[in-house]
Amino acid sequence: MKGLFITFEGTEGCGKSTQVAILAERIRAQGRVVRALREPGGTPIGEEIRHTLKHSKDNAEMTPEAELLLMNASRAQLVREVIRPALAAGEVVVCDRFYDSTTAYQGYGRQMDLGTVQRIIEVAVAGTRPDLTLLLRVSPEVSWERLRARQAAMPVVRDRFEEADRGFFDRVARGYEAIAVAEPGRVKVVDGARPVDAVAAEIWSIVQPLLEDQR
């Protein structure tokens, strides 16, 4: 059986993590082995990098260049240590964020040169690409409201990205739209503003045929 590589993308508060968990369970119920991962992170080295990027108390001065390289250092490790071996063993890999996050956040959000961003991504993934990317779209207003609600619920947990301004998140959202337009075959846009069950049902209607094709 061939492996299948599915990634989830979207702005803060789009509901990705919930949908990753639901999809992973549904695929497992079909008898497939599923590897649910997240970026940055997913390996011991990657989780240390995640802490440096997101929660370390000393990360306030991180430059966009350092951020770009750290995201891709975590990714390079994840691709080689986990994703490629899992796909080679015929598993289904479901990843909460992958390289489109770098294009959207570092390219569009931090306004780094898109060609440079692409080259660094290519060093990290060296040809390992998702078969399907599910982009959960919520309006910038919904994303911003959910982000603020989460921060109010967890005021002591610091996240450097969540401290960015509204303009940054609007640029990230525009970046995702550009990615979806550029790669309509791989990237499927799902309306994430609906109830969880409705979103999960649409995602399943996209994924199920891919699993059937592999039988």
Q: By rule CB under 6 A, what string of x and - marks binding of each residue 156-195 to ligand TMP?
A: -----x----------------------------------
35 binds ligand TMP (CB under 6 A): no
CB of 29 to ligand TMP, least distance (A): 25
Instruction: List the one residue from 19, 102, 133, 143 that touches ligand TMP (CB under 6 A).
Output: 102
Instruction: List the one residue from 20, 37, 71, 86 that touches ligand TMP (CB under 6 A).
Output: 71
Q: Which of 46, 43, 48, 59 is nearest to 158 (CA)?
A: 59
Cα 194 to Cα 47, 57, 81, 86, 197, distances in angstroms: 31, 36, 36, 32, 8
Instruction: List the one residue from 40, 130, 175, 192 that touches ligand TMP (CB under 6 A).
Output: 40
38 binds ligand TMP (CB under 6 A): yes
CB of 54 to ligand TMP, least distance (A): 6
DSSP 127-153: T---SEEEEEE--HHHHHHHHHHHHHH
97 binds ligand TMP (CB under 6 A): yes
Residues touching ligand TMP, count (CB under 6 A): 10
7 binds ligand TMP (CB under 6 A): no
Task: Say what angle helices 166-182 and 140-153 make with each other, to 10 degrees.
Answer: 130
> For residues 74 and 101, what is the distance between their CA atoms, to the nearest angstrom?
13
> For residues 140 and 147, what is the distance between their CA atoms, to the nearest angstrom?
10
Instruction: List the one residue from 36, 49, 93, 105 that touches ligand TMP (CB under 6 A).
Output: 105
Which amino acid, one-letter code, is at 87? L
Name the residue nearer to ligand TMP (CB basis): 9 or 91.
9
> For residues 197 and 203, what is the distance between their CA atoms, to the nearest angstrom?
10
Cα 121 to Cα 23, 152, 169, distances in angstroms: 26, 34, 21
Contact footprint for ligand TMP (CB under 6 A):
38-40, 71, 97, 101-102, 105-106, 161
